[in-house]
Structures are given as C-alpha cells and as structure tokens.
Amino acid sequence: MYSSSNHSNGYHPHHQHEDNRFGQAHSHSKDRVRRYTRGGATSTNSRSRDFRDSHGHAGPSSASALRVSEQHQKPATDFDMAYFHSYAHVGIHEEMIKDRVRTETYRTAIMQHQSAIAGKVVVDVGCGTGILSIFCAQAGAKRVYAVDASEIALQANEVVKANNLSDTVIVLHGRVEDVEIDEEVDVIISEWMGYMLLYESMLGSVITARDRWLKPGGLILPSNATLYMAPVTHSDRYGESIDFWRNVYGIDMSAMLPLAKQCAFEEPCVETITGENVLTWPHVVKHVDCYTITIHELESVTTRYKFKSMMRAPLHGFAFWFDVEFSGPAVSPTNNHTLSLLVDNNPIDGSQRKKRANPNEALVLSTAPEDPPTHWQQTMIYFYDPIEVEQDQLIEGSVTLSQSKENARFMNIHLEYA
C-alpha cells in the first residue's frame, strides 16, 4: 500500500486518514500487491485469472478473419499493454485453473444455465486459456467467441483445436473494445474479478461487451457481485512480522520496528484470514449488478460504515472480500411489488449483512474468510500499530476506492476511521 505524504498511523483519539494504493505511482514501476504467506510477504505481479481485457470477432464462419474497429474506444495505453503481457505467462493461468472453488463453480454455473446456453451465441470476455469457452461448448453453445488481448490467446486457439472445437469456439486475439462481432450474443461469461473485486478494472470490458452485443434479456455470468469490508484482529500476523524484531536471538532489534512496519504494511496485503479474525458483521461497500452497472460508476466508490465490535481485542486493520452470484437475466419490473422484490433480494450499498440474501438459492462464488479459500484470498489494510477496542465499541468512518487517473487498473484507497 503506497502512502501519500499525509499518511498517519497508530492511534489518535479522533480519526485517521489513510491514503493507499494498489499498484505504484510511476509509469516505470511494476504493478504490485503484497502476497503474504507464513514465510513472510512477497511482492507479486497483479493477480491471476482466466481472462484479460478482451475482445470480439467478425463473423461465425471465419476463425482467422479479424476486423478491428477504431471508432468505439480509445487505444490501449502502455499500462494496458503491460497488463496484457503479464497474462501471457502460464503460471498465472495455472494458479487460476488449480483454484478448484473458482473453476468448478464456473463450470457448475454453466451447466445450471445450460438451457440458456445450448444452441446460443456466447462471448467469453478475457478467455485466457479458453477453459470457460470450452465449458460453454460442452454445454451445447452454437458458437463461442473466446476473446483475449494477451498472447495467451495463441495457446487458447491450440487448446481449442486439440479438443476438436474449432467449429464452435472462435478465438480472437485483441481487446473487446476494438473488435467487431457481426451478430448479437445471447450470453456473456467472464471471470473478471480482481483482488478486492475491482482491482485491475476488467469489469469495464464486460460492460463494453454487454452494451455492444448482448441481446435484450440475455444472460451475464456472473450476474452480480458484492464487495464487503470488516474490521479484523490478527495478532499472529502482527507478531510474525513486527514483534519478532523485539528480541532476535537475545538481541534487542527494536530499532528495526519502524522499517518493519513500513515494509509489512505500506501496501495492501493479499492473504488468507479466518472468520475468527473478523470483529463484526461485514459492511457492503458496493453491490454490482452486471446487467445495469456503468463504466462511470467504477471510477469512484465511496461508502460510510459503522461497526460494533463483538469482542474486546486489538484492531489491526480492515479486511475486504467479495462474492459473485450466477443468476438468470434481469427481469424488467412491471409493478411496484416486483420492484420491491428485486430491491429486497439485493444487498444495499452501505448496509451490514448478517446472512447472505439468496432467496432463489442462486449459485454463489464466495471469497469470504469463513468459506473455502480461493486464490483471491482476502485483501488486508493494516494499521502500523494496533488499536485496542472494547466489546460493543463503535468503529466508524468511510472508505473511497477510486481508479488511478494515471492508470485505471490501479486503485487508490482513502480510508478514514474513528
């Protein structure tokens, strides 16, 4: 987490401001987050997943013909090209595919919606190795446009050939913003979620594909997503990274503490916690309806929160996680009763959730601390020094997540807490 000059840490009786950043501030820097394991924190290039910024195609009969349209979106930036290049590495795709919670949930979702996919036209936004496109073909899709701006699209095309699916799956190498598809599509599928849900800003490409090609009443998988936050206590993590320096083989190395805190906690940390670390019910930071959300809404997200601690414990910071739901197409409300049902079934931004509202038992992929771990883990923002809180003590403030003006794939985090 990269701090502005007015960054402050530790406890003050009023409130704190923290300005942090996913990624770095200068164009020559690599996109970084902190990945924490028991051996310590390591810097990694941006997260993995079977997708990238993507793209479409020029017609059902030609797998090689590609017509590029320059009129829809601004050209790719150097940041975009570096991002696409990072997804050419096989290790990223291996990590994602080996995440069984992720991959099997997507496959189950495709089979649950087989009636909406069989005989229909599908776009896979950011296809990566092509695994989701192949799942759709196995579910009976008439045609699948597998689109990806990374060089991994070349390998995806070979995978499709090896599985004798070239007549169904058309692999397109380029951005969804640049490519023409000469037909409307029935289904959009994408694994677009980044750390903290919105990091990497790939959802914008899904929105672009939706607005350009999706038929009215078409299906988007996943259909909605919710980002949560909660205050956490994590003494073991603090001890391993910080308190360790107080006594090193009998030597007082506490002079290392300021540097240790900076190195351990100056960036958001991607790591796995458990439900026992969470001090309160989570707060809904942002609910995303993939059928209606706009690109403009993603530029900045702000919420105010108020938590009541369930126990007396040191407060070490805040955790963020998300879930996505695979439900059917949005239904246009025809009366007030229907509208109220739609509102009631979705979490409201700024609300607290005691139990996931899922009245239709739609399939959910969750990265919550109490659920099976995924490669997304949870995203932690740690304080340099813990704050002791009492049971029932209020913790309140606000958080703003905004796209960096320099590089929209980076995220600036402004956190206030009291």
Q: Which residues are catalytic?
A: 191, 200
Please name the helix (run of DSSP H) or strand (run of DSSP E) that holds residue 137, with its range, or none. Answer: helix 131-138
Tokens of 77: 């930036």
Residue matched to tokens 């929209």:
408
Place of tokens 């045609």: 143
C-beta of residue 82 within 8 angstroms of C-beta of residue 76: no
Q: Are 21 and 412 in contact (CB under 8 A)?
A: yes
Neighbours of 216 (CB within 10 A): 7
d(CA 219, CA 188): 6
Q: Which segments of 331-384 does DSSP mark as H helices, in order?
A: 336-345
Tell me the pairing of strands 269-271 and 378-389.
antiparallel
106 vs 363: CA distance, rounded Å: 9
The answer to whether the beta carbons of residues 169 and 130 sit under 8 Å apart is yes
